[in-house]
A and B are shown apart, each in its own frame.
Chain A
């Protein structure tokens, strides 16, 4: 069946450095790729999304890139801050949505 693989499962970066989280998907018909951030004890919230007709999207310190040929998309966070510490989930969607297993991001002081 359809699947979304997310790596790494845990990531620690020094404050101010960049963080990259990668996802691959199996359904080549997927056309919508959101990223959600979930802080401890809170609900997931969308931080950025990209559609299949776009290769890259940026919003301040956050960017997402999509490679449809490789069925691969990535989240890039630059100039990381303590408030970026959370669990990040990627997802791929067509008529139904599939989430990755999440990446726990730790920002080290």
Chain B
């Protein structure tokens, strides 16, 4: 089966600019996750979708981050405006349901200068 797809793979922007990431989960997976992973740290869950509804967004900085999952399939994560501390790898993952194995995409490495 095809894996989780993410784009772009790399992005360099200046602070205060905006950026968007795209994720296409594995077909049939109801649960989709966005994580922020800063170098040397574990993945930090930003938002979790069940189909097109939000299960958990308690760690999403809502003043600058937004995410949507249209039609319960693809998802986009946006940052506006970006800060230096947003430099990280943004991982998308999907699973059949919440208590099943997560399959991670290759990630998007964001550098904010």
Contact = CB atoms under 8 A, between A and B. Distances in A.
Q: Do A and B come from one complex?
A: yes
A1 to B, nearest CB: 8
- Size band of the interface chain B makes with A: 20 to 34
Determine chain B's interface SS by DSSP, over half rule.
Answer: loop
Nearest to A34: B101
A100 B41 CA distance: 10
Given A49-B101, A89-B42, A97 B106 contact: no
A99 B98 contact: no
A97 B16 CA distance: 31
Contacts, number: 52
A44 B104 contact: yes
A51 to B, nearest CB: 7
Contact of A97 (B33, B41, B58, B105): B33
Q: Report which residue of B58, B91, B101, B106 has the largest number of chain A beta carbons within 10 angstroms of its beta carbon.
A: B101
A95 B58 CA distance: 13
Given A96-B55, A100-B42, A102-B41, A32 B99 contact: yes
A3 interface: no
A55 to B, nearest CB: 17
A100 to B, nearest CB: 6
B107 interface: yes
24 contacts: A1-B58, A31-B99, A32-B98, A32-B99, A34-B102, A36-B102, A43-B91, A44-B102, A45-B104, A46-B101, A87-B42, A89-B42, A93-B99, A94-B98, A94-B99, A95-B55, A95-B56, A96-B45, A97-B33, A97-B48, A97-B98, A98-B45, A99-B44, A101-B41
